[in-house]
Amino acid sequence: MTDSATLQDDGLLAQRIRSGDRAALGEVYDRHASAAMAVALRIVADREGAEDLVHDTFVAIWQKIDRFDPARGSLRSWIVTIVRNRAIDRLRGTRPSIEIGEADERSLLRSGPNPTWESAMARLGGIQLRAALDELPAEQRQAVELAYFGGRTYREIATITGVPLGTANGRLRLALARLRERLSQTEAAPIGAGDER
């Protein structure tokens, strides 16, 4: 969960990193490395490789912190986006780069801001987010997971799942619409009922 206090603190930490404060990067790492590691590990399924990706991601954060714009999304979203892109690059055999590259820049446009998703992140824990994903029809959940964690295009998803292109694309659209509706209705879990994030 990313509450408003965390977002404010992240903003201050980003300012400190921008001023060259290495300890601030350490604090950002302590806050968000486990989320980044979870994404990397899910994608590359190799702990050592995932750790390399997490390391490279935070080096990139250090180098290119001036590219971070809080108006476009949270620091956590940015970190997760970068590590996801790098993990997908590795999965595809694309040469990994320690720089924040063009793909990362493009992904910034995809990463927000979006009040629905950011609000859900602020209110809900991982268990509730997983529950919302679990409620999707199986074929829609498969499609979004192939896209996000598998780095597959909707054309590839159509081939993999044996459906027409329009169907594969439609599943992604419907999945996000349903998720958005579900999350906007979900209340925060009572204290102790959510996860530890």
Partner 1 sequence: MSEMTHSQVEELAGAFALGALDSDEEAAVRAHLAECGEAHPEMEAALGAGIVMAESLDPVDPSAAVRDRLMATIERTPQAHRQAVAQPVRQSRRGWLDWLSPRVARPLAIAAMAAVIAVGAWSLGLQSQLNQRDAALRAVASAISGGQAAFRVEGNAGRGYVVDTPGRGAALVVTDLAELPPHRIYELWLLNPAGSPVAVGTLTSTDDAIAVVQLERDLSGFSIFAVTVEAERVAAPSSDPVILGVLGSS
Residue 163 near partner 1 by CB under 8 A = no
**Count of beta carbons in the 10 Å neighbourhood of residue 17:** 22
Residue 84, Cβ density class (10 Å: 0-12 exposed, 13-18 middle, ≥19 buried): buried
* Spatial distance between the Cα atoms of 66 and 19, rounded to a whole number of angstroms: 10
Least Å distance between CB 6 and partner 1?
13
* Spatial distance between the Cα atoms of 28 and 22, rounded to a whole number of angstroms: 10
Site for partner 1, residues 65 to 124, rule: CB under 8 A: 65-66, 73-74, 76-77, 80-81, 84-85, 88, 106-107, 109-114, 116-118, 120-121
Site string for partner 1, 167-196 (x = CB under 8 A): --x--xxxxxx-xx--x-----------xx
Site for partner 1, residues 4 to 23, rule: CB under 8 A: 15-16, 18-23
Site for partner 1, residues 30 to 49, rule: CB under 8 A: 30, 33-35, 37-39, 41-42
Sign of the CA dihedral running 149, 153, 157, 163: positive
Residue 126 near partner 1 by CB under 8 A = yes
| Tokens of residue 186, six digits | 């979900």
